[in-house]
Amino acid sequence: MNFFKKDKQNLLFSSNLNIESTYKNFSELSVEEIASIKKIKLENFKNSETKNSFELNIIDHRSYHFLILQNEKLIAYSRLVPPSSNFRNLTLERFCVANAYKGRGISRILIKYIIDEAANLFPKEVLSLSSLEDTKLFYEKFGFSINYFTHDENGNLHYFMTRKTK
């Protein structure tokens, strides 16, 4: 079931939920959007082992930034990092939904949107991500499979998962 229709600017939107989905290069993001991205990441990754992970870096400038907005307010975000010397595969990172919108299906909307657009942008690439234990089953529902797992410095289990884009 497709929730979205495309408008003249090629943005996806849902009239039922008043939700708009778009992705942008870093240079296309407004100052307000960057501030909203930082805010939603801080809300979702409070216990991150690296406090500097929220600072902008060169990877942000190379990535596609996926935004889900409701009434022009950012409610979900993720970035898609193209393959490079640092990232062997196409990599999905920083997948997050604002706390007030969790449990409403926004994660499903965002992951479907990213999978569809990744297939258009990078049709022959493998899409990879790192998942914690509590989100592993979510990603498996969308075709991701576990390649291997490891523990971080804090002892948290991370699953490295992949999915073919097409």
Cα separation, 65 vs 93, in Å, equals 10
pLDDT in tens, 66-118: 999 999 999 999 999 999 867 788 999 999 999 999 999 999 999 999 999 99
Residue burial 65-78, b: 16+ Cβ < 10 Å; e: rest: bbbbbbeeebbbbb
Cα separation, 99 vs 118, in Å, equals 26
User: Can you tell me the mean pLDDT for 8-15?
Assistant: 46
Q: How far is CA 36 from CA 32, 69, 81, 153, in A?
A: 6, 11, 19, 29
**Sequence-distant (≥ 6) Cβ neighbours of residue 129 within 8 angstroms:** 91, 92, 93, 95, 139, 144, 160, 161, 162
Quote the pLDDT of residue 85. Answer: 64
Instruction: Report percent pLDDT > 90 for the chain.
Output: 63
Mean pLDDT score across all residues of the chain: 85
Quote the pLDDT of residue 154. Answer: 78
Is the pLDDT score of 144 beyond 90? Answer: yes
> Helix 106-121 and helix 133-140: axis angle, to 10°?
60
Quote the pLDDT of residue 11. Answer: 47
Among 6-15, 17-26, 60-69, 115-124, the minimum mean pLDDT is found in 6-15
Quote the pLDDT of residue 6. Answer: 52
Is the pLDDT score of 2 beyond 80? Answer: no
Is the pLDDT score of 46 beyond 70? Answer: no
Quote the pLDDT of residue 68. Answer: 97
Quote the pLDDT of residue 51. Answer: 47
Cα separation, 70 vs 123, in Å, equals 29
DSSP for residue 56: -
Which residue ranges form the domains of the chain, and what is each CATH number? 5-124 (3.40.630.30)
Report the phi/psi class of residue 121: left, alpha or beta, with left for phi > 0 and alpha for psi in -120 to 50: alpha
